[in-house]
Amino acid sequence: MKLFLDTADMSQIREAIRWGIVDGVTTNPALVSRTGRPAEELYAEICATVPGPVSLECVSMDADGIVAEARRLAAISGNAVIKVPAMREGLVAVKRLAEEGIKTNVTLICSTMQAFLAAKVGATYVSPFVGRLDLMGQEGMETIRQIKTIYDNYRFTTEIIVASARHPKHVLESALAGAHICTIPIDVMELLYQHPMTDVGIQQFLAAWAKVPQERKPAPVAPATGA
């Protein structure tokens, strides 16, 4: 399963890329607004930095507006993927964009049927929001399992990005369900590394190593001086 970083913060992006586990980045208007930077300037920098897909979200609400906005965003970089909300006008636009070869990520998926329709119109990715579904009393990961079953049944090539993941268990369950990608904020990505037993073990090993006699280096020999 691929891991995407869900952020628009360049410092977070550079640090997570250094770790060697980031396959792409997802952004949204809320994340962009926190940076205080012009969107398209920021998008260009993210796309130039990330060695993988970068999702950039449209904010138009009609199909024609979405298509026009998507064309402009797609022109920023070859790794740009256009995020489009899972609404009727959005899916009309996704169909047109797919025919033009523009990659799309249908976002705010909150039902299995929305994901089914997105695949039918040619979405490159879908982003079901598991954390938000959990907060509404639904089982977000069950939606992921249903989508995966339908996509496998009909051999859809659309990839599932598990979004709104709130903790490492969501990441684990995404992998077990066979999701293609999970996109997570940097604090959740950091937690994937951590376990208290590992921390205790490291401290024990370091304490033991401190008791190991260190090899003595021979004293340097002064060069001979001529008579």
Instruction: Enumerate residues 6+ apart whose C-beta is below 8 A from 14.
Output: 49
Instruction: Enumerate residues 6+ apart whose C-beta is below 8 A from 49.
Output: 10, 13, 14, 17
| Six-digit token string for 120 | 């039918």
- Which pairs from 195-201 meet CB under 8 Å and 24+ separation? none
Q: Are 125 and 116 in contact (CB under 8 A)?
A: no
Task: Single out the residue of 85, 87, 63, 83 nearest to residue 73, CA to CA.
Answer: 83
| Six-digit token string for 168 | 């490492």
Known catalytic membership, residue 83: yes
160 C-beta neighbours (distance < 10 Å), count: 25
**Active-site annotation holder among 2, 83, 103, 120:** 83
**Residues annotated catalytic, as ranges:** 83
